[in-house]
Structure 1
Amino acid sequence: MQSDNIKAIFDQQAAGYDTRWAKTAPIRDALHFLLEAVFAGLPAQARILCVGAGTGEEIDYLAKRHPRWTFTAVEPSGAMLDICRRKAEAGGYLSRCAFHEGYLATLPDQSSFDAATSFLVSQFLTDRNARVNFFRSIAARLRPDGLLASSDLASDVDSTAYTALLTTWENMMRAADIPTAGVAQMREAYRRDVAVLPPAQVAAIIAEAGFDEPVMFYQAGLIHAWFARRD
């Protein structure tokens, strides 16, 4: 999917985004719970880069538990970033956040980060080389041995397991009150606009970008998450 199209979609969805996905919160909450375990060894004053920060859910989770950590939110959708900023203000950690409307390539140079998150972002890069370069650009912003935590939709779309899992995934979304039309639209988006690859291929892309062997630490339905250290 083209970057301008992605930005437009999320600009349009921003106002109701958190409400729309509220009933799927157990999936997000479990990911964040394990994310804190992945980041457990970070310094007391860790600097965290959040790429494709959206409305700032992982920042909100981590900032409230680590009062000396600082965060840089990178998000192309200004409308989503505005919600992220308001959430930080309401949560009392605004002074520990920097907000960059745009892409990682335009983020001003600064000291290396201790860790980075990228949740449900790289899947929108349907060209493999672009996806490798995306993760490579994150690696370039991390200190040596810095940590990446990344999640994406992943599956072997040519397998019978994917067909069964996709049906289960859609049932979950209906149970979460996602409108039927939205579920159908999502199925088409997965086919046309999202690079849903087998988990091993996603891990290989991360490794090729300058990280050690990625470790899958979470799966819920189609969502898989890995952590890896910068080489």
Structure 2
Amino acid sequence: MAQANLFDFDKNKSLPVSDYDVKARQLVPGYEAIFNIMFAWLQQRLPDRANLLIVGVGGGMELSVFGCETQWKMTGVDPSTEMLSAAASKVEALGLSERVELIQGTVDDVPKTALFNAATSILVMHFLPDDGSKLSFLKLINQRLESGSPLFLVDFCGERNSEQFNQIFSAWKCHAIHAGVPAEFIEEQSEKILPNLPFVPERRVTELLSEAGFTKIVQFYKALTYNGWMAIKS
């Protein structure tokens, strides 16, 4: 399979689309806690009629956690047809159609006309190469936020091939298998996906956030190979 298709959820059938909710909980330690923490922070600070941007809406967790207990409007964007379809099904099931807009594409396809009060990017940026694509991605999000608005970013991170990363990654594999992921799936992902996944060390993520115009960068989540930050548009 061509490398360009490795991270295409529509073309690479080894990526879990149909059971994404289940696999995400198994593969990402504390997956649900990510969204509960974000909600706790946002609920205290956002107005009742806030407008949120969800980058990579396919999983739909923000729709479930934020949508049922607030009147926030949410715009979700995702390049995957199948992931967007899953999000649309969740919107319909939760009765959120009047407050949710779904866009197939990337952040660049989100209009700049209405600025958002907050944005989330959960498990998205680690698929982008650090050749200017990651920085451009963050800048595009920044341009769509009101001044002082937060971005919540969670990604796979690490110092590739370091002893520390190898130890943490080994623990992650054990965790995933214990959570119910078949060992064969873990080995396949480790052999085919990981070597091509353009993840970066934690320090590089904070550098990119700063370069993109974010300040007050705080790490709010860390679990083995996954890390999360909150940053404020300056």
TM, length-normalised to structure 2: 0.90
- Pairing 1:6–2:12 present: no
Instruction: Check whether the contact 1:126–1:193 (CA below 8 A) recurs between aligned residues.
Output: no
Offset of residue 170 of structure 1: 0.2
1:50-199 equivalences in 2 (<5 Å): 50-66=54-70, 68-189=71-192, 191-199=194-202
Matched AA of 2:68: K
> Following superposition, which runs of at least 4 residues in structure 1 exceed 6 angstroms of deviation?
none
CA distance in 2, matches of 1:17, 1:7: 10
Instruction: Check whether the contact 1:207–1:213 (CA below 8 A) recurs between aligned residues.
Output: no
Instruction: Check whether the contact 2:153–2:229 (CA below 8 A) recurs between aligned residues.
Output: yes
Change (3 A) 1:25 1:135: closer
Offset of residue 217 of structure 1: 0.6
Q: What secondary structure does 1:217 align onto?
A: strand
CA distance in 1, matches of 2:12, 2:119: 21
Instruction: Check whether the contact 1:190–1:196 (CA below 8 A) recurs between aligned residues.
Output: no
CA distance in 1, matches of 2:12, 2:151: 24
CA distance in 2, matches of 1:137, 1:30: 27
Change (3 A) 1:177 1:89: same
Structure 2: runs of 5 or more not aligned = none
Matched AA of 2:61: E
Offset of residue 110 of structure 1: 2.8
Matched AA of 1:193: N
CA distance in 2, matches of 1:3, 1:136: 25
RMSD of aligned Cα (Å) = 2.1
Task: Answer 1 or 2: which has greater helix percent.
Answer: 1
CA distance in 1, matches of 2:217, 2:12: 28
What is the aligned partner in structure 2 of residue 217 from structure 1?
A: 220
CA distance in 2, matches of 1:94, 1:25: 28
Kindly tell me the number of residue pairs found equivalent between the two proteins.
230
Instruction: Check whether the contact 1:50–1:71 (CA below 8 A) recurs between aligned residues.
Output: yes
Change (3 A) 1:65 1:189: farther
TM, length-normalised to structure 1: 0.91
Structure 1: runs of 5 or more not aligned = none
